[in-house]
Amino acid sequence: METLPTYVKILTYLFVIVYMLSVTLETTRGQIMATFTDRRQMGRALLANFVLVPLLGVILARLFTLSPDVRIGFLLLALSPGGLFALQFARVSKGNLVLAVGLLIALSTLAILLTPALVALLFPAVGEGRLPLVLLVLLLLLLIAAPLLAGRAWQQFAPEAAPRLGRRLGVLSIVLFIITTVAAGKYKTPAIKAISAHEIMAIVSLVLASWFIGWLLGGPEVRNRKVLAISTSLRNVGVCLPIAVNYFPGTAVVVPILAFSGISIPMNMVFALITGRTLRDTEASVSPVEP
């Protein structure tokens, strides 16, 4: 399969930067800290994303007998939580947006620090000219952590203007996503065609089982269950793609990652639409989604 051209990589990186910047601009520090201090909720989220889903990935990789490069890409997805579209789908599903933002920040930050180290530890390097691990971590920090910090600084500097700017950047991120999706479409479709039917079933099974895990561990409130189910199933393609492109050059490791993006996003859109229309909290004591 043809590798991703430079302009698609640039569009992808630009989308990630703008999107992550918009996330922290729309949410206050107090809201995010409230999510972090809920140890029970955060503990269940970390259990789901850093223990259960990686174990599930190993089981599915063995069960479906994936080819070597597809197996690496598939396990890379299982190891990397913090899907970037969790916030949008949480909004569609009428889930807890504050929890969605908190999980996105926590899971993405941990994925930046842990996923490259786990990849270097678990997988023998494939191909020549791979990017050193330290430079790979720095790249991910620039793409994800730096916009988060910049957004938080602007939130402190101009708390009244920050949400408005965040919404505008959110719209811009959607435009960038559409452009990137169209540009990468010619590579996602061949990526799905390039893997076998049982490898596609492995990806679908990962999404379905992740929904179940997230829903089960989401706690008593439906709005939180929706968010954790979506956040757990949307693995962090924004972290996985730079690793696949720069650490495994000249291989097909990128193929299952592109295929996962092409499969999991429509699946989660359907999930969000259905749960948003049919499943809601009924207790009057439940606090509003947005303060």
Is 65 among the domain residues? yes
> Structure tokens of 9?
């990589």
Tell me if 229 sits within 8 A of 218, measured CB to CB: yes
Is 120 among the domain residues? yes
Is 101 among the domain residues? yes
Is 284 among the domain residues? no
Is 215 among the domain residues? yes
Least-confidence region, from 78-82, 91-95, 99-103, 178-182? 178-182
C-alpha–C-alpha distance, residues 76 and 94, integer Å: 30
Is 287 among the domain residues? no
Measure the N-to-C terminal CA separation of the chain; round to a whole number of Å.
Answer: 47
Is 1 among the domain residues? no
Look over the chain and give the mean of its residue pLDDT values, rounded to a whole number.
80
User: What does each C-alpha distance from 25 to 22, 60, 91, 147, 168 come to in angstroms?
Assistant: 5, 38, 16, 10, 10
Least-confidence region, from 39-48, 117-126, 195-204? 117-126
> Structure tokens of 17?
């930067």
Is 290 among the domain residues? no
User: What does each C-alpha distance from 149 to 24, 58, 235 come to in angstroms?
Assistant: 8, 34, 22
The structural domain count of the chain equals 1
Higher-confidence position of 243 and 139: 243
> Structure tokens of 241?
């793609």
The model's pLDDT over 95-136, given as tens digits with 9 standing for 90+, comes to 888 888 888 888 888 888 888 888 878 876 554 445 566 666
The yes-or-no verdict on residue 162 having pLDDT over 60 is: yes
Average pLDDT rounded to a whole number, residues 256-274:
89
Higher-confidence position of 154 and 194: 154
Identify the CATH number of the domain in which residue 148 sits: 1.20.1530.20
User: What does each C-alpha distance from 163 to 100, 114, 151, 156 come to in angstroms?
Assistant: 16, 30, 10, 11
Q: Helix H segments across 197-286?
A: 197-216, 222-233, 237-247, 254-278
* Domain encompassing residue 45: 6-277
